[in-house]
């Protein structure tokens, strides 16, 4: 099976850092289609730098990053913006929803910047909301009228509407209580079972245990890759 995501010998050096070691010192990683991967590491480990490169928010100093058959490490800023809009679905700890817009409007928003025909946008938004377990009685509420767990599921639906190659989730349970966090992690597991590829950044072992594999990062290097309890 061809990897959906492959990074090889990634190095990231921040020039202003002086004699500081590189943020990434030569990271290589392959992720297969439909895998659920967790990335863990302490503060300063390099996991945030790795996440930014995987999300095409930053470029490596050296090395290659191939996403869905495209070497994105060679793209310019405009091309990276296109990849972010169409091939990566982002889920953030703070939801990043428009509070006075309806649920369905929030989910439609990413499609405004793509070539999805207007007549298809609401249908695709509805399909994404159903995929994360939100039924029609929530779709036309404003997002600030929802619970934290519902808002995060709206954010996940928004990440799915452009049919991305990967869903990149940054501490998606960080603002949620334990019970609600479990609901969100169960949502990710169901999406994985539907064939979605998920890369989740976390500092909690209990969260990482839901993944197929956990990649541990320290001092800018991958130091261990372990199977999760769900594998």
Residue 91 belongs to a domain with what CATH number?
3.40.50.300
**Domain boundaries, position 191:** 34-47+83-227
Would you say residue 4 lies in a domain? no
Would you say residue 75 lies in a domain? no
Q: What is the pLDDT of residues 14-57, one digit of tens each?
A: 876 567 789 999 999 999 999 999 999 998 899 999 999 999 99
CA 98 to chain centre: 19
Predicted local distance difference test score (pLDDT) of residue 113: 82
Would you say residue 16 lies in a domain? no
Q: Tens place of pLDDT for every residue, the chain, 231 residues?
A: 789 999 999 999 987 656 778 999 999 999 999 999 999 999 889 999 999 999 999 999 999 999 999 999 989 999 999 999 999 999 999 999 999 999 999 999 999 888 889 889 999 999 999 999 998 999 999 999 999 999 999 999 999 999 999 999 999 999 999 999 999 999 999 999 999 999 999 989 999 999 999 999 999 999 988 886 655
Predicted local distance difference test score (pLDDT) of residue 219: 94
Would you say residue 90 lies in a domain? yes
CA 114 to chain centre: 19
Would you say residue 164 lies in a domain? yes
Would you say residue 203 lies in a domain? yes
Would you say residue 92 lies in a domain? yes
Residues 6+ apart with CB under 8 A from 119: none
Radius of gyration from C-alpha coordinates of the chain: 18
pTM of the model: 0.91
Instruction: Name the domain count of the chain.
Output: 1
How many of the other CB atoms lie within 10 Å of CB of 119? 7
Would you say residue 204 lies in a domain? yes
Residues 6+ apart with CB under 8 A from 36: 188, 189, 192, 197, 198, 200, 210, 211, 212, 228, 230
Query: What phi and psi, each to the nearest 5 degrees, are found at residue 60?
Result: -70, 150
């Amino acid at each position: 099976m061809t990897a959906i995501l492959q990074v090889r010998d990634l190095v990231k050096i921040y020039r202003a850092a002086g004699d500081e070691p590189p943020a990434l010192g030569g990271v290589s990683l392959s992720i297969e289609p439909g895998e659920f991967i967790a990335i863990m590491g302490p503060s300063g480990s390099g996991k945030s730098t790795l996440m930014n490169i995987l999300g095409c928010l930053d470029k490596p100093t050296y090395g290659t990053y191939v996403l869905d058959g495209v070497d994105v490490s060679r793209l310019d800023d405009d091309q990276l913006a296109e990849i972010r809009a169409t091939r990566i679905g982002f889920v953030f700890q703070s939801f990043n929803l428009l509070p006075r817009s309806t649920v369905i409007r929030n989910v439609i928003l990413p499609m405004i910047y793509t070539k999805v025909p207007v007549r298809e946008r609401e249908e695709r938004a509805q399909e994404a909301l159903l995929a994360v377990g939100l039924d029609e009685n929530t779709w036309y509420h404003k997002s600030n009228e929802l619970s934290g767990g519902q808002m995060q599921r709206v954010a996940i639906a928004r990440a799915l509407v452009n049919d991305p190659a990967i869903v990149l989730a940054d501490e998606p349970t960080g603002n949620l209580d334990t019970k609600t966090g479990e609901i969100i992690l169960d949502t990710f597991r169901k999406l994985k079972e539907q064939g979605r590829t998920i890369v989740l950044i976390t500092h909690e072992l209990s969260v990482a245990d839901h993944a197929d594999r956990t990649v541990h990062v320290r001092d800018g290097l991958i130091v261990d890759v372990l199977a999760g309890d769900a594998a």
